[in-house]
Each structure stands twice: as structure tokens, then as C-alpha cells.
A and B are shown apart, each in its own frame.
Chain A
Amino acid sequence: MLSLRNIVKQYANHRALDDVSIDIPEGKIFGLLGPNGAGKTSLIRIINQITAPDAGEIYFNNELLSPKHIEQIGYLPEERGLYKKMKVGEQMIYLAQLKGLNKSEAKQRLNHWFEKLDITSWWDKKVEDLSKGMQQKVQFIATILHDPKLIILDEPFSGFDPVNAQIIQDEILELNKNGATIIYSTHRMETVEELCDNIALINKSKKILDGSVKDIKKLYKNQSYCIDFVSKGSILNHDNPYYDLIKLNAQEEQVQIDIKINPKFQLNDVLNFLIPQVEIHQVKEIVPTIHDIFIEKVTQTHATIHEQN
């Protein structure tokens, strides 16, 4: 769907993007992650042709990205707002027309969306009379009204209460099901696992990780397990060659340990070691969350940069 190749964006005294290449597969929800100032917004602005890269190419459905593609992209920026004095309906029609819809078509689709989200009574209200959450809802509709093939959402849930956030999340999933590719940029990792098929992690202007969420999680599995058991009386020696103890939680007889199995061994080896000594109740693999991976990768790159310095 969208292929970014070796993108470089240079500002006067800092490099916002350094040789970033990302492939966004069609029909997927793609998470664009990274700490503040990593270069996410610069990248998104380049995809929207708001600014141009200093080097590198972008392909939209195998065509070099050009102004004609603007109408196939819907963009909800992080810094977003509407004309405060304009009426909601009028303003939405204007924004839709700027995306190439004609007036009657825009009106028709707006009616559909306003009914769907149950906000028809807002049509003649001025934007300044709406609450922040209501404005966000309206803005979301403006982003997707022209039925874009690629939807770019930068922190779409900020400003929403949990109920409305869920409504918007459902709409995003439905749009995706109907064929739209979605780029989702955020800090909120819990929604990433829920929504995203693929992610790319950007830090310090560089892409440091990308791939499908499943693959990345598999990659970052590190043989960690959580085991519940009841002691049979003898004292368990954790100082053994099979695993390293990460955490121990004992309440009388009930013991819970988090362990990391040493590279030469498997879970079975550990269990063989444990079974004679304890009565095992539960064994659970500890799968790293995207949140953990994010923090690990980001602090890692920080560390390497510090080392270099």
C-alpha cells in the first residue's frame, strides 16, 4: 500500500528522520510508535505531502506519491482543531469539498455519519458551542468522510472519554474491515496490541524495529515463565544451573516464582528439576507486551547513545 524508502528529513540543526524505510501492507492497521520527538510527526507530514523529504521516495500503491493521492488519504493530526465560529455542518462540507467531494455527495455522507454516531442535532451548532469530546468526534468524521484508502490517525483517542473512545475504536476497526489501511500513531501501548497488525518503532530519528506484532512478540519471548507451586517441605534451591530467579512471591505454603530459563535448557528440564521437590499448580509463559518491548528498545538505544558519547 505505502512504501517509504530511505527517507531523510533534515532541519537546520537536527535530523528529524534518518534513512527510514517502512512498508505498510494493504488492509492492515499499522502502529507507528516512538517517544516524543522521535520523528513520527515529521514522517506523517511527509506522507501527507505537507513537507517534502530531503532524500528518499514514497510509493503509494506502487506509484510515486504525488498530489493526486491526497484525496485517497485521510489525516487526523495530533494538533487538530476546527474553525470555532463556523457551523458544524457547513464546516464539514467545506472540509469534504477540499478533499474533492462535491457538495451534494458530502451532504449525503455527512447525514449518514451524523445519524450513525447519533449527532444530527449538532448540524447547525457552532463549533465553539461543542465540548472538546464532541469536537473530536466531528473531526474524526471529517477525516474519513471522503472514504480514504489510507487513514492516518495521530493520537486519535486523546480527548475522548472511555465510552466514546470505544465507539471510535469500533469505527476504526470497521473501516479497516471494509478495506481501509490505517496508520495509527500513539503512545498508548495497550491499544496497540488490541488494534495493530504491524508496528514500526522510531526512536531518535531512526527506525529501530518493525514487523508484525505477532512476530515481534515471538522475537522478544525470552524463555520466561511464571510458576505457582506448593512446597513439599524441603527448601528449594534457586541457585541451580537451569534458570535464573527473577521474582519470588511466597505466602506461607503458596509460592510464585518468575524465572528465566538458561539458554542450554528447556521448560521440561526445569519441570523435571522441580517436580520431585514441589507440587506444581500452574505454569505460565511470560510473553512480553509491546509496552515492555517499547521501553526496552528505547532505553537500550538511549544507553548505546550514551555509551557512544
Chain B
Amino acid sequence: MNKIRLIIQREYLTRVRKKSFLLTTFLVPLFFIGMYVGVIFLTKKSFDESHSYVYVVDDSADVIHKLNSSKNVTYLKEGNDLQHQIGKLNKEDGRTSILHIPTDFYESETVEFLSNDKPNLSIESEISDSLNRIIKDKKYESYGITSEIRRSIKSDVKIKSKEISENGNTIESNTEISMAIALVLSVLIYISLFLYGSQVMRGIIEEKSNRIIEVIISSVKPFQLMMGKIIGIGLVGLTQFALWIFVSISLVLIVSNTLVSKEDFTNQLLKNNTQQVNSSKNTEVLSQDETVITEETISEIIQLIQTVNLPLIIGCFFIFFLGGYLIYSALFAAVGSAVDSETEASQFTLPITMPLLLTYALSFGVLINNPHGTVATWLSFIPFTSPIAMLVRIPFGVPTWQIIVSAILLILGFVLTTWFAARIYRVGILMHGKKASYKELIKWFKYKS
């Protein structure tokens, strides 16, 4: 027992002390958060680029009061001399343009849009939407339909999906969020099972090709060495996850803080800009439709996330990661012991990881669309597939007994595969330069210990 601890210690420390471990610990969360920030940044940028200032020359003298500036378009009023405005336009940068509304606008339903270069399509459609609305309002009015009536006619049906839990209470649920979480879990566990499983294999191949193996197993039993390695690397994985969670949370906090202040900053900037336009050119900025949705949606998202049982998911992730890891790393260990090099290993790694690969592929289809169907339920019980299948199902709510049965089966599967792997391992590690075939492996398996 003491020797297993020594082996675990060595396996753990040599890996955790590596620079690559530190690097991945910080780079992976940084990468994801960088992507997240990048997306936000790009949307912002495209918004900035599509934003336009439009000088309105209104001959009808009516429409202009009804035009409301929006996110993408700011309407400015400066004077009613069209020629003068056109003259000024040439000196302005390309983002500004002139909207000329004729006197017979309501009859002709035509306007002129003048700009330096080809007008942005989205701006054009937004302007036409606004103008259509103005005409519509005018027509409603002419038919005697007031805005109050129209508001009362308008309806917006919301579907609040609720799930009935085991104890009869209803839980608010959101399928999209569950799906997203399920997919993230599926990808995460698939990658990590592969990552750490193949680390076990590589470690064993290294010991074999180093020829240190015989030195060590003259001091400890092959089984102790194998288990020590598996447990040591498993702990490295758990440490990595714990650090990722910790680093991600801290980074999210930091980034969201700076992002929020940045948003304030850009708002400020926008205001300053318009003020500048105002003061320098004596321009009137038409009323701004402040979008209040952002705050609402954020609180809504937070509420939705609260409906997800995060502690259960994290707990189950650790359980099923560990179980799956132990099963697959034992198989990887058997493969590592049987071969002399990593290139030789591929003929064995494909068959043993087949169930994993299959479940991973299914998780994007059958499993996620019908998480409580027959296929999904069965896959979440079979030890080789349950680590992925069960985790995909858990965000949708799985009866506790199923989780427990699946976990027990997983443990049994682990004991069985370890026993099987150890029998191949103890022979394989001492074989050099012998090309292992399946027939050979069965022979090794049958050797008396």
C-alpha cells in the first residue's frame, strides 16, 4: 500500500510540475474566454461599423418628428436646404448620408437617400421600416384606430415550460439550456477521457522503452505499478479540472467586470460623440430609443441558469469522469503494455475506444433529442458508454435511482476491466520486440500468475 502511494506520488508530481501542465491549466480557460470575448468584440465592432448618422432634410415638415433614432441609425436635423447639405456631405466621411423626404411623401411613398458610397443594405431596410411604420400609423389614424387600440390588439404568447419532478413539484425548465449544458458535458468528458487515458498508455510505453520497467517490478507488483499510474494520472486530471473551474470563474469575474465598465465607456463615448455633433454643427439629435432589453435578458438568463441543478451536474461529472477514466485507462494500460511504440498502439486503441466514439457521435443526435428514450437510457447504463450518455441526460433530469444504478454498474465495469487489463499488463510489460496480436493477448491473459 505504501508503495502504491509512492508510485502515485511520483506519477502525480512529475506531471503536475511540468510546464505544459501549468500552461494548459491557464491556457484552456483563457482560450475559451478569449473566444467568448472575441465574439462579443466582433459583434460590437460590426455594430460600430454599421452605425450611421443620417441628416434628414424634410420637405413635408411632419415626418421628421416621427423618426426615432435607433441602435444603428442616428437621425440628425440641421437645416432644410438640400443643396447646402449635399455640398457639406462631400466633406464628411462616408458614414454620413442624407435622407430627403419630399412634400408628397404620404402619397408617393418615396424618399431619396443620398450618400457618398453605396449605402449599407441594413441601414436602408431600417430606414424603410421606420418610414413604413410612420405611413402605417398615419393610415391607422385615418381609419380612426388609435394607438391604444392597436396596443391592446397586439399579443405575444410566451411558453413557460415546466417539468413535474419526482415529488410532484413543478420545476421550470428550459430545453435549450439543458441541451447546451449536455453538449458541453459530452465534449468535455469525451476529450478528457481520451486525454488522460492516452497519458496512461504513453506512460507505460515510456517505461517499457526506457527499460526501467524490470527494475521497478523487481520492487513492486505489476498491478501496483499499473494502479499507481492510473490513480496518479487520474488525480492529475481532477486537479486540472478543479484548477480550470477555479481559473475560469476568476477569469469570468475579471472579464465581466472589465466588460461592464467597457460598455459604460462605449455608451459614454457614443453620447460624447452625438454631443459633439450637436454642439459643433448646431444639430438636433432626434429622440433616442434606449434599448432596455439587455438588463432584462441578463436577469432572465441568470434565472434560467438557476433552474439547472449545477451542484448535481458537477458532482455527477466528477463521478462519471472518474468511473469512465478508470475503465478506459485500464484498457489503455493493457494496450500500452502490449506494444513497443505509440504508432503500434493505434491498431488497439481504435477498437477499445469505439464505444466512446459511438456514444459521443450519438450524443449530438439521438441522445440529446430524446434523452429519456430507450437508446439513451440503455446507453446510460452500459459502463463503457454511460460516462457520456448519462452526463448528456443529466441536465434534462434523470431519476436518482437510475444515476445510482448506472454508477454502481460503472464501478463493477471498472473492477472487471482492471482485472482483465492487469492480466495482460503483467505479461506485456516484459515483452520486447514481439509484435502483439489479439491471439497473443489472449494467450497472455491465460497465463498463470
Contact = CB atoms under 8 A, between A and B. Distances in A.
Contact of A50 (B207, B218, B432): B218
Contact of B215 (A12, A67, A80): A80
Interface string A28-66: 000000000000000001001111101000000000000
Given A52-B448, A86-B14, A98 B219 contact: yes
Given A52-B449, A94-B10, A98-B220, A77 B215 contact: yes
Contact of A98 (B3, B430, B443): B3
B6 interface: yes
A70 B7 CA distance: 17
B215 A142 contact: yes
B166 to A, nearest CB: 51
B12 to A, nearest CB: 13
Contacts of A98: 3, 6-7, 216, 219-220
Interface in B425-449: 430, 432, 443, 448-449
A84 interface: yes
Nearest to A85: B14
B214 A50 contact: yes
B212 interface: yes
A97 B430 CA distance: 22
B262 interface: no
Contact of A54 (B214, B443, B448): B448
Contacts of B214: 50, 75, 77, 79-80
Question: Does more than half of chain A's interface fall in helix, strand or loop, or is it mixed?
Answer: loop
A99 interface: yes
A82 B215 CA distance: 9
A48 B218 contact: yes
Nearest to A81: B211
Residues of B contacting A: mostly: helix
A1 interface: no
A146 B132 CA distance: 93
A303 B108 CA distance: 118
A75 B218 contact: yes
A80 B218 contact: no
A79 B219 contact: no
B443 A12 contact: yes
Interface residues of A, number: 28
Nearest to A49: B218
B6 A97 contact: yes
A43 to B, nearest CB: 14
A202 to B, nearest CB: 19
Nearest to B440: A12
A95 interface: yes
B217 A50 contact: yes
Most B-side CB within 10 Å, residue of A12, A67, A98: A98
Contacts of A70: 218-219
B210 interface: yes
B217 A81 contact: no
A240 B218 CA distance: 60
A54 B449 CA distance: 9
Interface of A: 12, 45, 48-52, 54, 67, 70, 73, 75, 77, 79-86, 94-95, 97-99, 139, 142
Interface of B: 3, 6-7, 10, 14, 206-207, 210-212, 214-221, 430, 432, 443, 448-449
15 contacts: A48-B218, A49-B218, A50-B217, A52-B449, A67-B221, A77-B214, A80-B214, A81-B210, A82-B212, A83-B207, A83-B210, A95-B215, A98-B3, A98-B220, A142-B215
Given A50-B214, A80-B211, A94-B6, 7 more contacts: A45-B430, A70-B218, A77-B214, A77-B215, A82-B210, A83-B206, A97-B6
Across chains A and B, which 8 residue pairs bring their CB atoms closest together, nearest first? A81-B211, A98-B219, A77-B214, A81-B210, A75-B218, A48-B218, A79-B211, A81-B212
